Structure formats: C-alpha cells, structure tokens
Chains A and B, each alone.
Chain A
C-alpha cells in the first residue's frame, strides 16, 4: 500500500519533470525566467520595508508568487491561476492594511476581513484618487485606469479558477504541458507584476532615502518608466 502510494507520486514527479522540460523548451522560456526574477525584486522591497511596516502579508504574497511558478511548471495550471490571483489580492491587501493598523490587527486575529471589491473600490480602495493622492499625488489620474486593469485581471483570472465552463473545460485532465494555458498565465503574471510594483511605489517610495531609492531604481525604470511621474523619483 505504502509502496504503491510512493510509486504513484514518483510517477507524478516524472510527469512534473516532463512539463518543466517542455516549458523551458518552449518559446515562452525567456518570459518565464524574466518574470521569475521578480521574486528578487519583491525580496528587495521586503528587505527595505521590514522593520518599518508589518510585512506579514507582503511575505505571504511573495510565497504565493513563487508557488504560482511551481504550479505552472508542474502542469497544475488551475492552481497556478489561483496563486497568481491570490498574489494580486495579497499585494492589494498589504497596501490597504499598511494604512490602517487597527484593521490589520483585526485581520490578523481573524476578526475582520477585507474583500477584493473593497480593495479596489473606486472611492476608497487602493487605486482611488484619495488614496493615491495621499502618497503619490502625481499619478492620481492613473488610478481609474488601474481599477479597470486590476478588476479585469481579477475577473479574467477567476474564469480559469471557477465559474467559466469554457475555460475550465480547456484545462487538461492529466498533468500535461499546455502552451496556451502557460501563455495566458504568463500574461496574467506580467500584468500582476505591473500592478504590484505600481502599488508599492505609490505607497512607499516617497518615504525612501537615497540608498533605498537606488535599490529600486532599475526595476522601476524598467517596469514603470512609461509613467513619467515615477521617473521624478530618481531625477
């Protein structure tokens, strides 16, 4: 019995290896590596923020981001989408609760949660004008577009997790490499990365000293250089 179980999982392990091989042999390989590097950037943010903020949720977001890669490279696409969406949610939650210690403490105690809808709510959410104005007013006009973008991203990701038969029925029954699902997941991860960096910059960057700014300069210019107002940080 025990031996049979072990063999079952060893066989699975072979399949995981095959999917890893196929993924990195595909034309998507550079993109996988590029986006995986973002874990280093996230750790840089964690390094800067720890001691200043409660980074529990940020750490959970980083773990989720990493797990999403593990899942996708094992052919567990549905779980990859779940983790990618949870990463997005956790980053937004981290940013939101970083401004409200009481709510954060209640959240940690399990007394109070905050829904996705509230996180991206137009009037008071993390992309609302008044929220962005408080921390990085130069980009407050971007807020409305970020709400559109994040809401769509969340909805599109959800279609691969539950509720959309067309997407769910497209999921492989067995552990197999699927380039279309990989491509879709990479799109979502890329957009999630953009949203995460946008929020981290808006919320914290103006409090950074020169050394801390130097640490985030390259990633900011690379990812958010198209939003001119962020370049002012390094002028």
Chain B
C-alpha cells in the first residue's frame, strides 16, 4: 500500500525538490516567486500553494552562492487562535514572526548578521525576546486579554532599514519572504492587516510573496491589488493538454510499484480519477488510496461516494466550527446541490446524446446580492467551485462572473463515471454556462442574520472550538487516548499542556513528549485554521 505524503508539511524541506513535478506553468510560478516581483498565490486547499512556496525556497537555498537571495519561509496559520483587543496587534504579531523567521533562516545559511534587528539587543537576546513575544500573542486565545508590550519590536521602517544594512554588509541581493496561510478566510480584519503589512514591507531589499485562499478579498485602504502585487491563480485546468500526465507524474513520485502497475493497466480509470480531482493533487492521492486497484468498480464507487459526501465534509465542517456563518455555508451547499449540479448534469446528458459540446460552468450576475457572493467565496475556498473569469458577458450582454464546478462533483452524478467521465471532460467548452441572474429565486432562501464576516463571531466560535473534545482532532487513536489519559480532554487543554505534563504518560520521555505536543498542536491549528 502506497504511503502518500498528502500535505507539504509532512515533507522535509530538504527533500521537497525530490517530489517536484515540473510543468511549464509551475516553473513560471516558481521563477516568479524567486524574482523581485511580489506575488500573491491564490488557490483552494490542497492545490499545491505551500508546495510551490517550498520549492522556490529550496531552489533559492540551493543557489544561494550564485544568486545571493535569502529565502525565508513562514506560516501564519497560528493567526487562527489569536484573540486580540486591537486590530493593529495582528500587524505586530506578523512583524515579530517575520523578524524571528528571518533571523533563523540567516543563521541556518551560515550568514553572520552584522546589523541587529532590535537595536538594543544582542543576537541571543533578540531570539529570546521574539520567541517570548510571539508566544504571548499566541496565548491570547486563553482570554486573558491584556495589552502586549511591543515597544522593543522594530517599526516597519526600522525593520526595512535593518534588512538593508544586513543585505549590504553581507553582500545579499535581497530577502524573499514566502508567507503561507497568510490570511484567514473568515477574518477580514486579519486580511486587511496582512495586506497593509505586505504593502509596507516590500522594498528593493525585501520581496514578499504570499499564499492565500480564494475569497480573501479584504485588502484594506492602503493595498491596491493591481499595483501592489501580482496575483496568480493556482489552477490546474483539467482540460489542458498534459493534465493527466502531470497528475500521473505526481503519483509516480510517491506510489509503490504495485499501484503504478495498476495505474498503467487501467489508464482510462486513472484519467477519470485525475479529472475528478479537479487539479487538486491532495484529493487525487486521497482518492487513489480509496481505489488501490484502480478498477472500474472501485473508481466508480469512489467518485460517487467521495464527491457526493466526503468532499463536502470540509465545507460542512466550516459551518460546525463557525456557527455564525452557518447560513452562508449551508446555503452554498444547497445552491450547488439543488440548482447548479442538476441543471448542468441535465444539460450535459442532452449535449452528449446529441454529440455536442458539454459544460461545467455557471454564471452569476454581477448585481447578485453580496451575501450570495460571500457564500460562493466559501465554496471557492473549499474547492467545490472555482472562479473562472470575472466580467464575462452573458445573455443580453449582462455582465457577471463565470465559475467552474468541481469536476468530481459533476461526475459523481453519473451512473458510471468511468464510462461517461472522459467524454464530458474532453468536450467541455467555456461557451456553455448556466446563467443565474441578479434576482434568481434561489437567492431568496439566503437571509443570514449577519451579512458580513465579523471578528466577534470568530472569537465566539473559537471559544466553542477550544472547548470541544480532542476526539475532533485528526490524530491517531493511540495519541488521542494518550491525551485523554493525561486528563487533556478538550482542545484547549492540549494547547495549554506543557511537555512536562505529557511526560507523565507511560513510556513518554522528552523526545516523545515533544513529538506528541507538536503533533497535537499542529492538529489543533489545522482544525482551527479552516
């Protein structure tokens, strides 16, 4: 049985290039990430944003002596647990994280730091101060709201000047930041602060790149998307030439010989599974583990079950976690399942019977209610739909947005996806789309109590999440039982626990307790971040 690494976080950064399957498009993205142009990479969960950031980082590290560009990778995933009294504190937390990550990266590369980031402190004091400060921010979920003293943190201008000094004195061309999980999908205030920092920090010596989810749209007053960054949508078009080959190459890197043999023998079934994954390597690997013989029976079953229920799990989980947004989330699912999918499926049946081009697109009028657009953004985030093109003219020259449906969801309605899947995908044209006008009847059922995503709702939701059982965490059973055995029954207990506490368990020493603490904490962030 192949043991896939389905998350970039589980691949050692030093091994990342071994897993890289290079396409022309990916090469272009990686080269741009390594350049001096600030990039914002946009893509739904699992499409490979983190992976490409890590590839760019690894290549810059490899070529450091030649290019002299220092890569600094960091993730803002812990932003999901911050409960800050002042919106600006988030800015300070990010700045502290960037300072800390920069110092660590420079040291790892063996570059001596001639200038100090924190003027009054020595190297060790800097590290100590930053880690304490970051930890203080990241403990705010405990609710002990107080003002965090950040007076020793450099201002953004001091930070930029310090980096300029470091670069000039060490012969470094520039510092390229790669910021992952840059802005929480449901926290507009964090999004505003992030883009404000993003705009402020870029300089001739600093190039800031970030990965965000689709639907992150609150840029604040200072950041102008057109001028301040280049946005790249990370989409792998299933209709593009070489798509299946690309997905197969990804699997070649990870699968064992037996699975590779099964794929070679059942290429047509594998193609359908790849199309269904809708350009998402993580989903392809997940579904392959469910269909290890790649037989028609298995692939049909997996497509019908996974894309009818499991893929919605992540979307529905959002509504469990953020009950304040339940209306948006549930309406989105109903809209896709009750209106879009049946309509597109019905039309495709007719098109295929008449040997005509097929569709997987729909169009929403630009004057559709904002609440509808917010609900659609959440569907983009989980990859159920994707924004295909803005400002598209439809019937009677009305203008709106074209979205594409997740191919797997579309194929899950077929009786035998392995038979009809390929004709549906190969005959798709963007010219055919189901249109939903400004006042479509489906919109009336969306009447949420709140019309905007608000931090107070997030904070309330966070408290609910932290009080949930550790059973909700994506951890092996033995680990959950270990935690419970120690009286760490709720998610907040795990976040709170020290390594010493974990060492109270049988046979758990220092190394193992750190492992357990790390695993448990990352599972908590994973759960809370989306």
Residues of A within 8 A of B127 (CB): none
- B252 contacts which of A148, A191, A194, A228 (Cβ < 8 Å)? A148
Query: How many chain B residues have a CB neighbour from A under 8 Å?
Result: 18
- Distance of B272 from chain A, by nearest CB (Å): 12
What 1/0 flags go to A119-161 for Cβ under 8 Å of B? 0000000000000000000000110111011101100100000
B265/A194 in contact, CB under 8 A:
yes
**B264 lies within 8 A of A145 (CB):** yes
A156 to B257, CA, bound (A): 8
Given contacts A145-B248, A145-B252, contact A152 B267 (CB under 8 A): no
Per DSSP, chain B at the interface is helix
* Contact of A226 with B257 at beta-carbon distance under 8 Å, contacts A141-B245, A145-B252 already known: no
Give every chain B residue within 8 A of A149 (Cβ-Cβ): 252, 257, 260-261, 264
Q: Is the CB of A187 within 8 A of B264?
A: no
**In the complex the two chains form, is B268's CB within 8 Å of A226's CB?**
yes
Give chain B residues whose Cβ lies under 8 Å from the Cβ of A224. Answer: 265
Q: Is the beta-carbon distance between A226 and B252 smaller than 8 angstroms?
A: no
Counting CB contacts under 8 A, is B237 at the interface? no
Does A188 sit within 8 A of B, measured CB to CB? yes
B261 touches A227 (CB 8 A): no
Decide if B63 is an interface residue (CB 8 Å cutoff): no
Chain A residues with CB under 8 Å of B248's CB are 145
CB distance from A81 to the nearest CB of B (A): 13
Q: Is the CB of B266 within 8 A of A188?
A: no
Neighbouring B residues of A195 by C-beta, 8 Å = 261
Say whether B261 contacts A156, CB under 8 Å. Answer: no
**Within the complex, what minimum Cβ distance (angstroms) separates A166 from chain B?**
14
A223 within 8 A of B: yes
Query: Which residues on the A side are within 8 Å of B252 (C-beta)?
Result: 144-145, 148-149
In Å, the complex CA distance between A174 and B253 comes to 36
Check A226–B256 contact: CB distance below 8 A.
no
Whether B135 sits at the interface, judged by CB under 8 Å, is no
**Is residue A190 within 8 Å, beta carbon to beta carbon, of the partner chain?**
yes
Closest Cβ of chain A: how far from B269's Cβ, in Å? Answer: 8
Closest Cβ–Cβ distance, residue A140 to chain B (whole Å): 13
Name the A residues within 8 Å of B253 (CB-CB): 148
- The 10 A-B pairs of least Cβ separation, nearest first, read A153-B257, A191-B261, A149-B260, A148-B252, A152-B257, A187-B258, A226-B265, A194-B261, A226-B266, A226-B267
Q: Which residues of A contact B (CB under 8 A)?
A: 141-142, 144-146, 148-150, 152-153, 156, 187-188, 190-191, 194-195, 198, 223-224, 226-228
Binding site for A on B (CB under 8 A): 245, 248-249, 252-253, 255-258, 260-261, 263-269
A-B contact pairs, 30 of them (CB 8 A): A144-B252, A145-B248, A145-B252, A145-B260, A145-B264, A146-B264, A148-B252, A148-B253, A148-B260, A149-B252, A149-B260, A149-B261, A149-B264, A150-B257, A152-B255, A152-B260, A153-B261, A188-B257, A188-B258, A190-B261, A194-B265, A224-B265, A226-B264, A226-B265, A226-B266, A226-B267, A226-B268, A226-B269, A227-B264, A227-B267
